[in-house]
Structure 1
Amino acid sequence: MNVRITGTGSFIPSEIETNEDFHQHQFLNEDGSPFKQNTDIIIKKFKSITGIRERRYAKQHHNASDLAFFAAEKAIADANINPEELDYIIFAHNFGDVKHNTIQSDILPSLASRVKHSLRIKNPKCVAYDILFGCPGWAEGVIQANAFIKAGIAKKCLVIGGETLSRVVDKYDRDSMIYSDGAGATIIEASNDEGGIITHETATFTYDEAYYLYFGKSNNQELCKDTRYIKMFGRKIYEFALTNVPLAMKACLDKSNIDIKDLKKIFIHQANEKMDEAIVERFYKLYNQEMPEGIMPMNIHKFGNSSVATIPTLFDMVSKGEVENQNIQKGDIIMFASVGAGMNINAIVYKY
């Protein structure tokens, strides 16, 4: 028995926020002092490092669970299954539902329960729960679904990654330009067909790294100090990722006994264009290989960093021919890899 992705779906919000829209922002240092460079220079440097030109924000009346529901409907239709057959709904997010112009996260009931409700699933044996695992949450949800199916306690699972990061950013922090909203969903099934999940690898680093991403106060010292926003130590994360993610990817590939030359695509968390390229380059150098051209699809330029949603949305788009000069064929060996808050890392080797 194999465990395969039989359906994919994504929801990309229609509201576009371009880099030019940030020209009126007043970016401040952590101590509240203004930057020496003007906003135009800050934005140009940001684009050269991250590759992000624009990002998507959810409509005011949509929350993360709504985006997830839209993506889930598409994945269920793509897999051509009856939602009542689902054994698990696993929803990876980090901040719950944060309504527009509010500061409080709402995770009661769980977002997975909300999606199940929206899908109008009556079956009580369809278990719905959330996981908080940083940006690697969707991949970890897939790993959990794989374990349930391999153990014989599930046959069909819906795994979702969804987030509305635009609701938890500090507009006075230049890092706010990174984040975006979106949702991706996948149906994971037991199958007698060839292909599916081959190996996986997960690690959590907390001794020094636990708070590289954290909730902190605004850079604007005049705002309420008790209101928290997503914050990060960017340089520490960059160095951590370049050291540890290639090693996790190698450990995962080595367990599969597949030659790196047979790897057709790497779907890596869309965090930062330069960082992602450096990670994959270092991964290939561990095998004394050069990074092949086109191995790493990217959509961060248009959609920004939507955390848990980046890999499933990118995978959905590539599998449906919606990313220029990128495609995957039946039988291709691909890899999913991610890094994020925790600090967590995971990777999956998969035969498409």
Structure 2
Amino acid sequence: MQGARILATGSAVPELCVNNFKISEMVETSDDWIVTRTGIKERRVLTGIDKSVVDLACLASIKALDKVSMSPLDIDLIILATSSPNDLFGSASQVQAQIGANKAVAFDLTAACSGFVLAVVTAAQFIENGSYKNVLVIGADVLSKWTNWLDRSTCILFGDGAGAVIIQACSKDDNGILGFQLNTDGEKSDQLSIPYRNKAKNKTISICQGEFDFIQMNGREVYKFAVSKVPLSIFKCLQSLCISTEDVSWLLLHQANERIIHAVAERLSIHSSKLISNLHKYGNTSAASIPLALDEALSSNKIKYNDLIVISGFGAGLTWGTVVIQWKC
């Protein structure tokens, strides 16, 4: 068995910035109402008919590769965590082709806002058992394409973005991915979903055909789920590693709602000064939110060598999970 560590990060967001004042022109709301309840001030939205999640994923990936002067041909595996592919058969292969990582295996992983955590854990397993040396993990979503912009309960929340990390094999002594804890509660999948609706029936062979709807969310239930389940997942993960919450350098949660982030930190007795958050600038970018915030924290020199970072994602499925990393670069 060998270790795995995050070698480099990169991120990308669309140019169009939509602030709360613009949202208030579309639905009955206000900047104060949105900020008070979510902490979000603005979000980025992808525009253009030919633009997709692949464009953002490629840009974030190239930035990560450039930081360590790594050739795309050195990548063995690409995992694209997304719930908004531009092809239902998968978009990771398009990323592989566009960045020139022709030697890499590529596949999509769909777990909504928990997607990046699950992708990191998956990548670590491939590395630790010796299957691959360099894995490119991308969290990218363009949920603006699945948002009902006339539904004020959801249109205020979501934005588009991408974040990428290169995870590389290393010695066990330099291992940076210490442990994880993952969960699913499929009985509550209807609390946050993009449901498929039957629209028409083919009379000749009795096949129902339809299309996907907009994002459906029970905000109150999702909030209750997050603030109760996420702290427990983090505690279990830290306990399994014999790490105290006092030893945590940074807490990086999925950027869904400022009240959730602070409630989780409070339940774990982790001071707000240890929170990594950029929610106010980008809103909920689903699988992109954690790697996007991680890249920005590293760019601002917030994270230092050997810092312990607790990362937790939660969302549709319902899924939630934690991975604990030690920064080794």
TM-score normalised over the length of structure 2: 0.90
The 5 Å alignment of 1:222-241 reads 228-241=213-226
Does residue 132 of structure 1 match 2:110?
yes
* Aligned pair partner of 1:302 in 264, 281, 293: 281
Distance, in Å, in 2 between the alignment partners of 1:311 and 1:227 is 26
TM-superposed deviation, 1:23: 2.2
Cα RMSD after superposing both structures:
1.8
Aligned equivalent of 2:26: 25
Aligned equivalent of 1:111: 91
Tell me the alpha carbon deviations over residues 177-200 of structure 1, each in whole angstroms, 9 at most, x when there is no partner: 100000000000111362400111
Aligned equivalent of 1:101: none
State the identity %. 32
TM-superposed deviation, 1:44: 2.7
Does residue 202 of structure 1 match 2:182?
yes
Aligned equivalent of 1:278: 263
Distance, in Å, in 2 between the alignment partners of 1:328 and 1:51 is 23
* Aligned pair partner of 2:126 in 148, 169, 178: 148
SS in 1 for 2:162: strand
SS in 2 for 1:81: coil
Distance, in Å, in 2 between the alignment partners of 1:177 and 1:337 is 23
* Aligned pair partner of 2:63 in 61, 74, 78: 74
CA pair 327-51 structure 1, distance change in 2 beyond 3 A: same
Q: Is the 8 A contact 1:54 1:303 kept in 2?
A: yes
Q: Is the 8 A contact 2:74 2:101 kept in 1?
A: no
Distance, in Å, in 2 between the alignment partners of 1:309 and 1:240 is 21
5+ long unaligned stretches in structure 1: 27-38, 98-105, 219-224, 285-290
Distance, in Å, in 2 between the alignment partners of 1:351 and 1:318 is 14
Aligned equivalent of 1:334: 309
Q: Is the 8 A contact 1:50 1:274 kept in 2?
A: yes
Amino acid at match of 1:16: C
Aligned equivalent of 2:74: 85
TM-superposed deviation, 1:349: 0.9
Q: Is the 8 A contact 1:6 1:78 kept in 2?
A: no
Q: How many residues align?
A: 311
Tell me the alpha carbon deviations over residues 278-330 of structure 1, each in whole angstroms, 9 at most, x when there is no partner: 1121123xxxxxx3131111111011111000000100010111xxxx71110
TM-superposed deviation, 1:216: 5.1
Aligned equivalent of 2:229: 244
CA pair 229-40 structure 1, distance change in 2 beyond 3 A: closer
TM-score normalised over the length of structure 1: 0.85
Which has the larger displacement, 78-87 or 45-54?
Answer: 78-87
Amino acid at match of 1:5: I
Distance, in Å, in 2 between the alignment partners of 1:274 and 1:148 is 36
Does residue 168 of structure 1 match 2:146?
yes
Distance, in Å, in 2 between the alignment partners of 1:212 and 1:40 is 23
